[in-house]
């Protein structure tokens, strides 16, 4: 366990950040799965816009990198366009 006051505070803040990051990453995974499960193109497009929004906010918060968000959005868009 940390001895210094600043170290103890750092441990507390890291736990808070970890909880937030886990929550956001879980939301990302759920949104991606929803897009992939969509049966028709209209619902897939609606879910794609929702997933894109979640990915953008996660990259803004620093949970994931900007390129990772961009790559995921691109992959999802390809899958949506492949749906006939």
Going by C-beta distance under 8 Å and a sequence separation of 6 or more, which residues neighbour residue 61?
A: 20, 24
Binned at pLDDT 50, 70 and 90, residue 1 comes out as: confident
**Is the Cβ–Cβ distance between 49 and 38 less than 8 Å?**
no
- pTM, entire model: 0.86
pLDDT in tens, 4-57: 999 999 999 999 999 999 999 999 999 999 999 998 999 999 999 999 999 999
pLDDT at 2: 82
Per residue in 16-46, is it b (16+ CB within 10 Å) or e — as a string? eeeeeeeebeebbeebbebbeebeeeeebbe
Choose among 46, 47, 11: nearest CA to 30: 47
């Amino acid at each position: 366990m940390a001895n210094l006051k600043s170290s103890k505070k750092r441990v507390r803040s890291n736990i808070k950040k970890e909880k937030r990051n886990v929550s956001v990453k879980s939301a990302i995974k759920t949104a991606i799965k929803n897009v992939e499960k969509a049966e028709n193109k209209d619902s897939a497009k609606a879910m794609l816009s929702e997933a894109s929004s979640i990915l953008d906010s996660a990259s803004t918060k620093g949970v994931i990198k900007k390129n990772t968000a961009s790559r995921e959005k691109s992959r999802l868009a390809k899958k949506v366009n492949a749906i006939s």
